[in-house]
Structures are given as C-alpha cells and as structure tokens.
C-alpha cells in the first residue's frame, strides 16, 4: 500500500507538504497541490488510520454503548444505531459498537486504549455506572437519555416527563376520568431506566392533579405474560374509557388483542401512546401518539459529542426535546 512517503516522492515534494495538502492546514501552491493530487490518485493513496491515530491521538471513532437487556425491545434500538452511524459518518467519524454486558467496563476498555474519541450511551439509567465510567475517562461522552447526578455530562433525550403530562392532559381534556396506563416491566423501573420512570412519574402526578384515576399496569417480560397482563387490566377495569400505552411490545399486540375483544378504537376505548413514526408504520399502529423521535435524539447526540470532542471547555448541555403529539384519531371526547 502506498504511504505518504510514496506520494511525496511521486509528486517530488516532502512528506510534510503532502500531509499539509491533505489536512489543508497550511497554504499549498496550486502547482504542487495538483501534483500531489495526481500522485494520490495514481498511487491510490489512503492514509493509514492507525498511524494517524497515533500521531494525533484521535481515532475519528465514536463508541456506541448498547446494553441489550432481555426486557428491552430490540426493534426500537436499531433505529438509533442506524441514525447514529449515519450522522457520525457525515461528521467524519466511524462508529464502534460497545455491547459488552458490563457497559462500564466496555467504556473503559475502548477509552483507555484510545480506540475511540468519545462515547455515546443508549438507554441511560437513573444512576448509571456508565456515566461514572465516562467521567473517569480521558474522552468525553454523551448520554442519549437522562442520568441523575451527572449534570457534568452532555445529554439529550425526548422530554418523557412532558410526554407523560401531555398525554394525560390530552385524555383529561377529552373527558376521560378512568384510564389504564400500561408501562414497561417492573424490571426496567428497578434499573431506573430513564424513559420509563420519567414518563410514569409525570403521568401519575398529572393524573393526581387533574383527578384522573390512573391504573398502572406493568408489562410482562415475555409475550404471553405481556398479553395476559393487558387482558387482565381490561377485565379489572371495565369502566375505563382510555388506554395510555408506553410499551412497544404491548403496542404490537394491541390491535389484535382489542379486535379479539371486539373493542373498537376510539368508539369503545380511546388509545394514546408513545412510539416513533417508523415503528408505527412497521407495525401499522393506528394510534395517536407522542413521536418517540429516535432520529432527532440520535442526530443531536452525535452532534453534541462531536462538538464536545472539538471543545472540551464548552458549556455542558442537557437537552430535552419537546414532545410532539401526532393525532391519528384513536382518542375521542366522551
């Protein structure tokens, strides 16, 4: 493979001139620039990533930390992964997957070895040891989610608290006073996964304020129990007029389940939820919902990390994207 020395020789200049032509870090005369470009093409030169990383202490790689727990729903995650990868590429970065079960250890591994310039964390928990791990690393990190007590880390997420408030208020405005709230398995709350507890707590508080009776149902961790859980909830609360669903797994089954019970939406039951447009269209979900916004969240997270890598001194930001309600007509006034 051609090295920068080969290019320099071919172009009749020094290696440093080639390097500067490549980086644009100092002015190069038109004539030499052209000869260098010719040489690069003739020799099919591509800079060696390892050498560059060694010389600059920058790998141009972002680590993406994913901790897949069995409770979580893989399809939703893929969207984040893809958008992270594309956005990173557009900013000149590659993306390395960090999927070890112990995410904190994985972070230490890729940062200590200088493999990555920074780290993105998905599915952040309330007290997340991965945040701690980042704080101990030389490289910066950005949370896609929200961790308490880590205000020193950049983060971006959908404002799940606002989402909870907005949906409960939406149902309240339509006159609903008894609502079944289906959320994630209790395991996710035990781990304090941000999107779960922030939504739940806000929904519960708002319901209490407005005088809405909100019956919480924690989703089952397997399909069968998930399905049964919803059925039981419907049996137990026959007078409930609306379903508030924050659980992708339940959503996939819901149209079928309601059809089998001969429940028409929104005639017999209003349904509102949280999911991404892409997810909804994948499973033909006909429900009014807060847009889960994987794309803006992932895009923004990558931008924040790139900005942080470029400037370690810039002020820390913690962005919460405002929830947007997409009305698909699955709720009605009663």
- Point out which residues bind its own copies (CB under 8 A): 1, 44, 46-54, 57, 59, 61, 64, 66, 68, 73-75, 77-79, 81-82, 85-86, 89, 94-97, 99-100, 109-110, 112-115, 138, 222-224, 227, 249, 252-253, 255-256, 259-260, 281-284
Q: Does 42 bind DNA (CB under 7 A)?
A: no
Calculate Rg over the CA atoms of the chain. 25
Q: Does 256 bind DNA (CB under 7 A)?
A: no
CB of 232 to its own copies, least distance (A): 16
Q: Which does 75 bind (CB under 5 to 8 A by kind): its own copies, DNA, none?
A: its own copies
Q: Which of 48, 60, 215, 318 binds DNA (CB under 7 A)?
A: 48
Q: In DSSP terms, which residues pair with 155 in a beta bridge?
A: 143, 318
Provide the 3-class DSSP secondary structure of residue 66: coil
CB of 62 to its own copies, least distance (A): 10
Provide the 3-class DSSP secondary structure of residue 183: strand
CB of 307 to DNA, least distance (A): 19
Residues 149-168 touching DNA, rule: CB under 7 A, are: none
Q: Which of 10, 39, 40, 45 binds DNA (CB under 7 A)?
A: 45
CB of 23 to DNA, least distance (A): 5
Name the residue among 192, 120, 208 with its Cα closest to residue 160: 192
Q: How far apart are CA 116 and CA 233, in angstroms?
A: 47
Q: Which does 282 bind (CB under 5 to 8 A by kind): its own copies, DNA, none?
A: its own copies
Q: Which does 20 bind (CB under 5 to 8 A by kind): its own copies, DNA, none?
A: DNA
Q: Which does 5 bind (CB under 5 to 8 A by kind): its own copies, DNA, none?
A: DNA
CB of 252 to DNA, least distance (A): 48
Strands (E) located in the chain: 61-65, 94-98, 118-122, 141-144, 154-158, 178-183, 213-218, 242-245, 270-275, 288-291, 318-321, 325-326
CB of 43 to DNA, least distance (A): 10
* β-bridge pairing 94-98 and 178-183: unpaired
User: At 304, which helix (H) or strand (E)?
Assistant: helix 294-310
**For residue 255, is it left (φ>0), alpha (ψ between -120 and 50) or beta?**
alpha
Name the residue among 205, 188, 193 with its Cα closest to residue 144: 193
CB of 151 to its own copies, least distance (A): 26
Q: Does 82 bind DNA (CB under 7 A)?
A: no
In order of 134, 198, 282, the CA distances from 153 in angstroms are 9, 19, 34
Which of 22, 96 has the CB closer to DNA?
Answer: 22
Which of 34, 322 has the CB closer to DNA?
Answer: 34
**For residue 116, is it left (φ>0), alpha (ψ between -120 and 50) or beta?**
beta
CB of 36 to DNA, least distance (A): 9
Which of 52, 328 has the CB closer to DNA?
Answer: 52
Angle between helix 223-236 and helix 248-260 axes, rounded to 10 deg: 60
With contacts defined by CB under 7 A, name the span among 20-28, 222-230, 231-239, 254-262 that binds DNA.
20-28
Q: Is the peptide bond before 266 cis (omega within 30 degrees of 0)?
A: yes
Q: Does 23 bind DNA (CB under 7 A)?
A: yes
Name the residue among 298, 328, 317, 326 with its Cα closest to residue 62: 298
Contacting positions for DNA (CB under 7 A): 1, 3-5, 12-17, 19-20, 22-23, 25-29, 31-33, 45-48, 51-52, 54-57
């Amino acid at each position: 493979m051609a090295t920068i020395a080969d290019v320099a020789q071919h172009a009749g200049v020094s290696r440093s001139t080639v390097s500067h032509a490549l980086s644009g870090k100092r002015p190069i005369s038109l004539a030499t620039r052209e000869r260098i470009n010719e040489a690069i093409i003739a020799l099919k030169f591509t800079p060696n990533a390892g050498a560059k990383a060694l010389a600059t202490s920058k790998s141009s790689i972002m680590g993406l930390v994913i901790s897949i727990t069995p409770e979580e729903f893989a399809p939703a995650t893929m969207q984040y992964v893809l958008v992270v990868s594309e956005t990173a590429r557009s900013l000149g970065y590659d993306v390395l997957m960090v999927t070890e079960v112990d995410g904190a250890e994985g972070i230490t591994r890729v940062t200590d070895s200088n493999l990555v310039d920074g780290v993105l964390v998905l599915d952040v928990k309330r007290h997340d040891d991965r945040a701690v791990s980042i704080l101990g690393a030389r490289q910066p990190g950005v949370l896609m989610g929200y961790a308490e007590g880590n205000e020193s880390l950049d983060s971006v997420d959908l404002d799940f608290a606002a989402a909870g408030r907005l949906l409960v208020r939406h149902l309240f405005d339509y006159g609903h006073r008894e609502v079944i709230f289906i959320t994630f398995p209790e395991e996710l709350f035990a781990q304090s996964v941000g999107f779960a507890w922030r939504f739940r707590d806000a929904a519960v508080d708002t319901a209490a304020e407005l005088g809405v009776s909100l019956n919480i149902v924690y989703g089952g961790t397997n399909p069968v129990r998930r399905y049964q859980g919803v059925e039981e909830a419907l049996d137990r609360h026959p007078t409930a007029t609306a379903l508030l669903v924050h659980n992708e797994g339940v959503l996939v089954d819901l149209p079928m389940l309601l059809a089998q019970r001969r429940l028409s939406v929104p005639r017999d039951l209003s349904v509102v939820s949280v999911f991404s447009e892409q997810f909804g269209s994948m499973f033909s979900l006909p429900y009014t919902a807060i847009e889960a916004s994987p794309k803006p969240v992932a895009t923004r997270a990558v931008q924040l990390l790139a900005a942080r890598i470029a400037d370690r001194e810039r002020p820390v930001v913690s962005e919460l994207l405002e929830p947007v309600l997409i009305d698909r007509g699955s709720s009605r006034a009663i």
